[in-house]
Structure 1
Amino acid sequence: MSGDKITVGTIGLGPVGAVVGACLAKAGAEIVATDLPHRISQLEKSGIQVYWDNELLQYAVRTADSIRAMADARPYCMIIATKASILKQIMPEVAEAAGDHCLVISTQNGIGTEDEIARYVPPENVCRMVVNFAGGIDAQGVVRVGWFNPPNCFGLIEEREEPRLTTIIDMLNSAGLTSELVSPFTIKKKAFLKTVLNASLLPLCAVMELTMKQAMQGKATRPLVEKLVREGLSVAERLEYDYGEDIFEQCMGYLDKGGDHHPSMTVDLQCKLPTEIDFINGKILEIGHSFGDLDLETHRFFVSLLMTAEVKNGTREPDDFPEYLLNP
């Protein structure tokens, strides 16, 4: 890495974007951020504020009033930390700001966010990050890291050397956000398993307005979680993702640690915002449907409910239902 200060464009300064941005700022990067107006106002007033292990990371940032305007900063890389549900909406502007040479990193939930990004920018410039920490953000824009299970993983779409990504990973490691580079196959494998975990609780909690703890302890809901896990793992097996013989038990053990709070998909429904169902259960169902002989009816049930709820909320067009759902 050269001694020149790099500029990192960050789109979305929720918990993930703020933590990654704060750690890169700690390592010496300049952060240029864009978000919704109220969040930009917070950032202009107080900068990024992240509490992690009783330490406050607070750094000034430059703000941009649109994604397109970030091009003026000539970013070294751009980090997309928005909800996956708005990727199609923002990617034309991201492509314009990134040009043909900027590295674009997806930190989002779900399967295939990097592939969606690669429809707009050169695939060799696209990277996926699988995030292994979680936190919350309060009304003042202060983020608190709840837990971190290192390392975070980064992977390119194409197998090749990418010095810019190596620089970003080295900077995060120097700031304490332990991260590593993995192969294109491995990053997809890790993203898939994380999505299986999310798919097993998020839609169920959202539809029934349960906390994660309530869903795991309910006599009628825990079997549904188990069924969703098994269905997701059956698709993973067809993709030749080997997680070990005890992966089902590992998944259930992880989910049993779910807190007594509502996950983000519940909040999205309550606030009448688009959910990430297309990239979570929807993607598992879509991929599994291509094999033709897998039982994925529990996924189909929850995808149907969530997409219908979005239609009711006005965040999905009444005829916007994918073929894999309508033609089992």
Structure 2
Amino acid sequence: MKFTVVGAGAMGLRYGVLLQEAGNEVEFVDAWQPHVEKMKEQGGVYVKRDHENRHLVPVKVFYPEEYQNTDADVLVFFLKQMQLADMLERCKHFFTADQYVLTAMNGMGHVDKLLNYFKPEKLLAGTALVATVLDGPGEVDFIGKPGAGTMNLANYTEQPDEMTHKVVAELQKANFNPTLTTNFQGTLMAKVVFNSVVNTLCTLFEITMGEYAAFAKADELSVALINEAYDVCERAGIEMINTRQEELESVNYVSKVANPLHYPSMYQDMSKNRPTEVDYINGYLVELGRKYHYEAHTHAFLTNLVHLAEHTRQHKA
């Protein structure tokens, strides 16, 4: 199978490299010039796992405007929410009506943008509990042992077809431990809720997931945010794939066992003075709640705190 990965950041590289190692043909499209130029210069990307065994993995990488191949079976999108609209417009010349789309981006907002370019029955979206760090141009670190992490995905139509099962099979070969569901909104919202706890709190206090989980009152904080998020989802008529207790257990397992040394992606953005995706995570829950006359006060407070931290760092830079 041929995959074109749009967005060769930390997660795009992890998915693309492992799909390539599983026997698929993979090409990458990215717009960050230092990163693209470095990979072209060195003939690939240097990959580490848990900071060790640095080695060069050959990859084919292109800028959006220079990529002309239209033969991909599946386009994989891994971008920041605020980058997606521009990238879609820059890449539309290699989209075809037959291509499937796979995405496991953080936050919410990407599905509506993708549906402007692709058929609903071709869209697979999900969540990835996989930790990866882009150390710099041409350098990526896969966090966790091979096979660490899981993902859930669903068809937008909630009707898996033959191609869906083929994609899931390739993801399994690549060690992503995929679970196919038939609950599209509930699948996506599970990761939004997870990130609204771990990403946001770890970012504000500049700590790893394990450091957060080790705090004596961590469960109390997690439960407050999970309950408020689930109250929003119930009012919106979204059936979640996890119970509230299962969502707490997911937060604790990933933070304590799977990736305790990991700084979430929101922290990575904040630490480099890049805009965070908090408006697409906690902020999304706030706006969804207001649509149904419910105020998610705690999520609103955290959204504003993240923006305050962004504002403060930018003025000190």
Please name the residue that 1:33 is paired with.
28
Matched, 1:259 2:260: yes
Residues 111 and 279 of structure 1 are in contact (CA less than 8 Å); yes or no, is this contact kept in structure 2? yes
The offset of 1:289, in angstroms, is 1.9
Secondary structure of the residue aligned to 1:155 is strand
Tell me how many residue pairs correspond in the alignment: 305
Q: Where does the alignment leave 5 or more consecutive residues of structure 1 unmatched?
A: 1-5, 315-328
Please name the residue that 1:108 is paired with.
105
Matched, 1:168 2:163: no
Distance 1:201 1:161, change over 3 A: closer
| In structure 1, C-alpha distance between the alignment counterparts of 2:16 and 2:152, rounded to whole Å | 16
Distance 1:49 1:170, change over 3 A: farther
The offset of 1:108, in angstroms, is 0.8
Residues 21 and 31 of structure 1 are in contact (CA less than 8 Å); yes or no, is this contact kept in structure 2? yes
TM-score by length of 1: 0.78
Secondary structure of the residue aligned to 1:154 is strand
| In structure 1, C-alpha distance between the alignment counterparts of 2:274 and 2:140, rounded to whole Å | 22
- The more displaced of 9-18 and 238-247 is 238-247
Matched, 1:60 2:55: no
Please name the residue that 2:176 is paired with.
177
| In structure 2, C-alpha distance between the alignment counterparts of 1:72 and 1:219, rounded to whole Å | 53
Q: Where does the alignment leave 5 or more consecutive residues of structure 2 unmatched?
A: none
Distance 1:57 1:24, change over 3 A: farther
Distance 1:162 1:40, change over 3 A: farther
Please name the residue that 2:116 is paired with.
119
The offset of 1:150, in angstroms, is 5.8
| In structure 2, C-alpha distance between the alignment counterparts of 1:150 and 1:264, rounded to whole Å | 15
Q: Alignment identity in percent?
A: 22
| In structure 1, C-alpha distance between the alignment counterparts of 2:212 and 2:177, rounded to whole Å | 31
- The more displaced of 52-61 and 73-82 is 52-61
Please name the residue that 2:305 is paired with.
305
The offset of 1:60, in angstroms, is 2.9
The offset of 1:311, in angstroms, is 6.0
Matched, 1:209 2:206: yes
- The more displaced of 172-181 and 24-33 is 172-181
| In structure 2, C-alpha distance between the alignment counterparts of 1:134 and 1:21, rounded to whole Å | 14
Amino acid at match of 1:29: N
Distance 1:112 1:143, change over 3 A: same
TM-score by length of 2: 0.80
| In structure 2, C-alpha distance between the alignment counterparts of 1:83 and 1:227, rounded to whole Å | 27
- The more displaced of 240-249 and 112-121 is 240-249
Residues 202 and 263 of structure 1 are in contact (CA less than 8 Å); yes or no, is this contact kept in structure 2? yes
Matched, 1:80 2:82: no
Residues 129 and 155 of structure 1 are in contact (CA less than 8 Å); yes or no, is this contact kept in structure 2? yes
Please name the residue that 1:322 is paired with.
none
Cα RMSD (Å) of the superposition?
A: 3.2
Please name the residue that 2:39 is paired with.
43
Matched, 1:10 2:8: no
The offset of 1:141, in angstroms, is 1.3
Residues 224 and 298 of structure 1 are in contact (CA less than 8 Å); yes or no, is this contact kept in structure 2? no
Secondary structure of the residue aligned to 1:143 is strand
The offset of 1:300, in angstroms, is 0.7
Residues 7 and 29 of structure 1 are in contact (CA less than 8 Å); yes or no, is this contact kept in structure 2? yes
The offset of 1:133, in angstroms, is 2.4
Please name the residue that 1:271 is paired with.
272
Please name the residue that 1:196 is paired with.
193
Q: 1:212-250 deviations in whole A, cap 9, x for unaligned?
A: 344445578764443222212222344232623633652
| In structure 2, C-alpha distance between the alignment counterparts of 1:233 and 1:94, rounded to whole Å | 36
